[in-house]
């Protein structure tokens, strides 16, 4: 069945005379009104946000720093102890996710770009956060082979309900790698917290598939979220010129890149003449033209009961927040928010206290909390 692509364009409403101060604007969706409260600013290309027990937050900066927000203020010093990483092109420090039992074991996971004489790649490290610093840093995943490209690292992560960690790796700018199941690029990997291939991975019984691979045919996934009811892992990925996709991950599924795509090359030439092919999954939803999606969260909070169950996606290229009305495994409608904010939305997070949080991607990036307006 073809993806549902209806679009409800809703522009942000601002208080007259204060068009450039986000905190002074009132924004409207089809069902709710809200303001953005700036919690932290002057972050260098913030990439990911994680909520700690007790109310503090961790924020990654792509330029290679892990920061802490405590009592509503950004601490001046970065968290020491990060693994060695490289900041080049799209590469740097990416995602931070907490172990499902973080409150007891203080373990977290970081994804990042790593460089060596053999090139660059996507790595994941496990570490303990103790007394404001990282300790016992251990590399639990490394995508191979490396390459000289500085783009399409992927780097989004999420835990499923069984406690397995999903890691996206982009095609590294070499599209054909996404169809090679003996290559770690262009797919999603599923591992245990100790870095072993997760039970049930398709490659455990097939020597032609790398044993951590869960899916392949993925161009560059930068959004990943656990569905709060079904337990499915949803993702979105960047298309080329058009063809950004939303998919639900299924073990051993080929999502088609570059054999099938709803986009074209940046040059304007076709990449493939096919949008469908036997044995390759259709996207649940796609965008054409591209919005350059990044960050992804299902809203389950209480601040905005009208948004319960909605899927939120940030957009870099088109500088907006997208709200998708979702029923089970179907997208019913789409709504554009924050179109007048003028910010690249890098990450979207469902907060622990019923709130929705955003990161903006710029040299002076911000952490915003959406606050309801009566």
Instruction: Measure the CA angle with vertex 300, ends 298 and 305; round to 5°.
Output: 120
Which two tokens mark 90?
């799209």
Is 238 annotated as catalytic? no
Q: How far apart are CA 188 and CA 234, in angstroms?
A: 11
Which two tokens mark 69?
């927000």
Q: How far apart are CA 110 and CA 322, in angstroms?
A: 26
Catalytic choice (45, 99, 114, 152): 152
Query: Strand pairing of 8-9 and 330-337?
Result: parallel
Q: In which order are the strands placed within the sheet that holds 244-248?
A: 221-226, 233-237, 244-248, 285-287
Report helix, strand or coil for 203: helix
DSSP letters for 239-299: -SBS-EEEEE--TTEE--TTTS-S-B-TTSS-S-S-S--TTBPPPSEEESS---EEEEEE-
Which two tokens mark 324?
């998708």
Q: How far apart are CA 94 and CA 109, in angstroms?
A: 10
Cis bond upstream, residue 145 (ω within 30): yes
Q: How far apart are CA 116 and CA 139, in angstroms?
A: 15
Q: Which of 255, 317, 308 is nearest to 287 (CA)?
A: 317
Tell me the β-bridge partners of 264.
Answer: 241
Q: Check residue 91 and report its DSSP letter.
A: B
Residues 261 and 240 sit within 8 Å (Cβ to Cβ): yes
Residues 79 and 64 sit within 8 Å (Cβ to Cβ): no
Instruction: Measure the CA angle with vertex 134, ends 347 and 57; round to 5°.
Output: 35
- Number of residues in the chain: 374
Cite the active site residues: 152
């Amino acid at each position: 069945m073809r993806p549902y692509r209806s679009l409800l364009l809703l522009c942000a409403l601002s208080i007259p005379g204060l068009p450039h101060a986000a905190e002074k604007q009132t924004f409207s969706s089809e069902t709710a009104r809200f303001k953005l409260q700036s919690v932290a600013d002057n972050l260098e290309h913030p990439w990911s946000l994680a909520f700690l027990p007790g109310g503090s937050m961790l924020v990654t900066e792509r330029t290679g720093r892990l920061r802490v927000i405590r009592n509503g203020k950004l601490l001046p010093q970065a968290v020491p102890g990060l693994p060695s990483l490289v900041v080049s092109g799209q590469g740097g420090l990416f995602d931070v996710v907490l172990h499902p039992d973080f409150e007891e074991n203080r373990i977290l996971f970081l994804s990042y770009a790593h460089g060596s004489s053999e090139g660059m790649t996507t790595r994941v490290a496990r570490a303990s956060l103790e007394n404001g610093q990282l300790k016992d840093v251990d590399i639990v995943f490394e995508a191979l082979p490396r390459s000289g490209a500085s783009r399409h690292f992927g780097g989004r992560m999420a835990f499923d309900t069984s406690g397995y960690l999903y890691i996206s790796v982009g095609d590294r700018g070499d599209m054909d790698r996404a169809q090679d199941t003996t290559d770690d690029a262009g797919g999603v990997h599923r591992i245990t917290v100790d870095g072993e291939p997760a039970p049930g991975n398709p490659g455990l019984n097939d020597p032609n598939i790398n044993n951590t691979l869960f899916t392949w045919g993925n161009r560059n996934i930068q959004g990943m979220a656990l569905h709060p009811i079904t337990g499915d892992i949803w993702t979105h990925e960047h298309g080329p010129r058009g063809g950004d996709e939303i998919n639900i991950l299924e073990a051993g599924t080929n999502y088609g890149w570059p054999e099938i795509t709803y986009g074209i090359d940046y040059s304007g030439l076709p990449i493939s003449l096919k949008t469908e092919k036997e044995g390759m999954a259709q996207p649940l939803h796609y965008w054409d033209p591209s919005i350059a999606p990044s960050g992804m969260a299902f809203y389950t909070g209480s601040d905005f009961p009208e948004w319960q169950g909605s899927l939120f996606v940030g957009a870099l290229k088109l500088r907006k927040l997208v709200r998708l009305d979702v029923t089970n495994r179907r997208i019913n409608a789409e709504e554009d928010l924050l179109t007048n904010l003028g910010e690249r939305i890098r990450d979207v997070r469902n907060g622990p206290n019923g709130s929705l949080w955003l990161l903006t991607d710029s040299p002076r990036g911000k952490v915003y909390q959406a606050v309801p307006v009566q």
